[in-house]
Amino acid sequence: MRLSRPCLILLLIVQLAACGVMKTTPVPPPAPTSQAQQVTRAQTSTLQKIGTISVNVIGSPMNVEDAIQQRAQFAGARYYLIIMMSETIIPSQWYGQAILYR
């Protein structure tokens, strides 16, 4: 099956427009504190990535956030970006991943 020329042009326009959805305007991160701080993707453009961590906890999403913050602090990170948080197939068991930044 061949697509007509207008359909191909429309498809190309939609694909190019979708590329702009993933672009974020850089925002400066907050000033460093004595505790590791969670940041957004837009705040990571000037930060240096130092690694990744993962946690597996029993509890709630807040417990995952607390565990990630503690692990980031222990690793010497000033900032962290949570990239995934999901409940496992076991009820109340949560898994999370984060990128650490200096």
- Given this model, what pLDDT does residue 25 score? 86
When pLDDT is cut at 50, 70 and 90, the band that residue 7 belongs to is confident
Residue 27 has pLDDT above 80, yes or no: yes
Per-residue pLDDT averaged across 29-51, rounded? 95
pLDDT score of 39:
97
- Domains of the chain with CATH codes: 26-101 (3.30.1660.10)
Q: In the structure, what pLDDT confidence band is assigned to residue 40 with cuts at 50, 70 and 90?
A: very high
C-alpha torsion 8→10→11→17, nearest 10: 150
Average pLDDT over residues 26-40: 94
Query: Is the CB of residue 53 less than 8 Å from the CB of residue 98?
Result: yes
- Six token digits for residue 11: 């498809």
